[in-house]
Amino acid sequence: MKLESYVGGRWVKGRGVGRDLMNPTNGDVLGQVDATGIDPHAALAHARDVGGPALRALTFAQRGDLLRQIAEVLSANRAEYAEIARLNSGNTGVDAAIDIDGAIGTLKVYARIGKSLGDVRLIMEPGHEALSRDGGFGAGHILTSRTGAALHINAFNFPAWGLWEKVAVALLSGVGAVAKPASATAWLSHQMVRDVVEAGILPQGALSLVCGAGEELLDALQPFDHLAFTGSSGTAARLRAHPNVLAAAPRINIEADSVNATILGPDARPGTAVFDLLVQEADKALSVKAGQLCTNIRRVFVPAPLLDAVRDALAARIDQIAVGDPAEEGVSLGPLVNARQQHAALHGLSRLTEEARVIRGGGVPDRLAGGDRERGAFVAATLLVCEHPDQARFIHEMEVFGPVLTVMPYEAQADAAALAARGGGSLVASVFTNDVEFAAGVAGDIAPYHGRVLIVDESVGKAHTGHAIVMPQCVHGGPGRAGNGQELGGLRGLGFYMQRTAVQGSPVILERLRSMAAEGTV
């Protein structure tokens, strides 16, 4: 099997040998992925000059209906996608569901947003700015679809959700997209796009796919284009410094490394519901997607008197985690996505252990429930304790992308907030407490350093969606080292692909524009 790219309205094979697609459970080669010989300028031009105009000829409601149809196609093929995720990503059933169902759910949310906007093609913000004393001259702000293409460069850990959460917003905004999935797990992205293409849902040029190395795509970006990237901060820095990105100055949105934190309130003692809720959430951080979530918990801050209790509760949970082949019954922790990621995680773990003690795990598991220990990419669920977080550096700065978390003590509310901020900017933090004053105080303190703050008390114990789960209704992204980007957030997500323009004129003109638009704040 050699994955093809979909560019210029047709499937094209790369002319090179390509990169192997691997099964991370046993090291078997599944196929190759290669984009050698594909014309990046033609690919982006097709999205820009063919796909964009076709989408902008449709209303928001019509574009939303396209997203609804895509979701239906993906739902019909869900079982096949789950098997691909197991083979190529080492996903358990739970892991695959988060990725695949997350993609389908996000498409459905944006389909509903399109329907709610109605049969119009522009958005006008509510309100009126009076610019004259007699009220005869004023201003309003409208949002219209930008005329460039969207280039999406995605990460390996979410080949389904990462693809469609970007595509959904771009298509609804009226912008043609070129998606480049990470090569290591491109099989799932490829199969999903192939199924959608075969269903004949989208107009020509609305969606293209490049499977393989795509560095030359950056050379093809133009001033009204959009570059959305999810991945490492190192790659993000190279993208920002690329000569053509600097020269053409397309819009850029980055989601990068994030050393996310969770904070346990002083009231959450052993035996309380919120104590148990934190332990459950931290346990998920060590098993779901093998810890390979950009929003995953990496640091757990607990009141100093509760350090031993949290440590012991998590250690007991880890002892129950079965590591191995996701095809085996009872396995909840599969491998990392490939040997490269395994080596990176083990290297990062070695740095963390300079500042923290290993309580459980710490390397490759001694025993597996299926899978190949030598050829697979397994890392044991690892619990670390750092007694002096104020003196640590790597703990706060290094994201080990795997099933690894560190528990640390804090003395007072201000200390917890300051330690969380040491991450340098993160996608998400969570707070587990029934103490309303503590929760509100910490949330206000850490908000400038985080894109999202989840507060869990007993009342939302069963309803909350989880520390790591990104909901399309909420903004996703983070300041500082997390990339300074923002996507999703319901209608807010469209702002990246639309132009906000101040229109000045008489009330008659402004009211005519308002009659042609959906009202909303983007």
pLDDT in tens, 161-189: 999 999 999 999 999 999 999 999 999 99
Render pLDDT for 432-447 as a digit per residue (tens, 0 to 9): 999 999 999 999 999 9
The pTM (predicted TM-score) of the whole model is 0.94
Q: Answer whether residue 255 shows pLDDT above 90.
A: yes
Give the three-class secondary structure for 93. helix
Q: Answer whether residue 101 shows pLDDT above 90.
A: yes
| Rama region for 205: left / alpha / beta (φ>0; ψ in -120 to 50; rest) | left
As to burial, measured by CB atoms within 10 angstroms (0-12 exposed, 13-18 middle, 19+ buried), residue 487 is buried
Share of the chain above pLDDT 70, in %: 100
- Single out the residue of 16, 26, 137 nearest to residue 87, CA to CA: 26
Terminal CA-CA length for the chain: 43
Render pLDDT for 27-67 as a digit per residue (tens, 0 to 9): 999 999 999 989 999 999 999 999 999 999 999 999 999 99
In angstroms, the CA 55 to CA 262 distance is: 42
Helices 436-446 and 413-421: crossing angle in degrees, nearest 10, is 30
In the set 4, 255, 281, 399, the catalytic residue is 255
Q: Answer whether residue 115 shows pLDDT above 80.
A: yes
Are 162 and 186 in contact by the 8 Å Cβ rule? The answer is: no
Q: Answer whether residue 215 shows pLDDT above 80.
A: no
Compute the average pLDDT of residues 117-132: 95
Compute the average pLDDT of residues 186-193: 98
Alpha-carbon distances of 353 from 236, 258, 340, 422, rounded to whole Å = 27, 19, 20, 18
Element (H, E) at 452: strand 450-456
Whether 294 sits among the annotated catalytic residues: the reply is yes
User: What per-residue confidence (pLDDT) applies to 16?
Assistant: 87
Cα dihedral 229, 235, 236, 242 sign: negative
Give the three-class secondary structure for 253. strand
DSSP, res 408: E
Average pLDDT score, the chain: 95
User: What per-residue confidence (pLDDT) applies to 516?
Assistant: 95
Render pLDDT for 282-332 as a digit per residue (tens, 0 to 9): 999 999 999 999 999 999 999 999 999 999 999 999 999 999 999 999 999
Q: Which residues pair with 251 in a beta bridge?
A: 226
Confidence of residue 393 (pLDDT cuts 50, 70, 90): very high
Domains in the chain, CATH or no CATH each: 44-256+484-519 (3.40.605.10), 260-477 (3.40.309.10)
In angstroms, the CA 229 to CA 487 distance is: 11
In the set 165, 211, 281, 294, the catalytic residue is 294
Share of the chain above pLDDT 90, in %: 95
In angstroms, the CA 190 to CA 186 distance is: 6
Whether 255 sits among the annotated catalytic residues: the reply is yes
